[in-house]
């Protein structure tokens, strides 16, 4: 049994030693000269403006949550497509109901204006 796992443990050991060696050597021989540019915040080449703890509009979070919800629900289509022939008409009806519920939720968030990006007066504080 040990003979089977020995190469795997040896590889993990060697990789760990090499990684620690590389990190240690770069820490020992690397130059650490703190300058104003190195200590400043990097924002894709732009000059940093304001505080990093600034407030974001709730729209960012709402769009992200809606994307995750609908993305996860659409993932359920793949397993259904894989076993489509085995489920026959029952699977088709169940998936139709699932898609109708998903579509109803989509139309609901469109009606509520959750996907409109421009700000309305009541959204601003």
pLDDT tens, residue by residue, 10-64: 999 999 999 999 999 999 998 888 888 777 777 677 776 777 677 777 888 888 8
E strand or H helix at 2: helix 2-29
Ordered alpha helix ranges (H), 30-83: 36-39, 58-75, 77-82
pLDDT of residue 123: 53
What pTM was computed for the model? 0.49
Rounded to an integer, what distance in angstroms lies between the CA atom of residue 6 and that of residue 117? Answer: 57
> What CATH number should be reported for the domain holding residue 79?
1.20.58.1610
What is the domain range of residue 104? Answer: 2-123
Strand positions, DSSP E, the chain:
none
Q: CB of 69 within 8 A of CB of 114?
A: no
Q: CB of 52 within 8 A of CB of 41?
A: yes
Most confident stretch, 8-22, 64-78, 107-121: 8-22
């Amino acid at each position: 049994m040990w003979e089977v796992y020995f190469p795997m443990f040896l590889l993990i050991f060697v990789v760990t030693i090499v990684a620690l060696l590389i990190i240690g050597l770069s820490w020992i021989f690397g130059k650490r000269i703190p300058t104003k540019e190195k200590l400043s915040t990097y924002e894709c080449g732009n000059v940093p403006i304001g505080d990093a703890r600034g407030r974001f509009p709730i729209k960012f979070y709402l769009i992200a949550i809606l994307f995750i919800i609908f993305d996860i629900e659409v993932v359920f289509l793949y397993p259904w497509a894989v076993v489509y022939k085995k489920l026959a008409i029952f699977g088709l009806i169940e998936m139709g109901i699932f898609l109708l519920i998903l579509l109803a939720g989509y139309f609901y968030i469109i009606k509520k204006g959750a996907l409109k990006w421009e700000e309305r007066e009541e959204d601003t504080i």
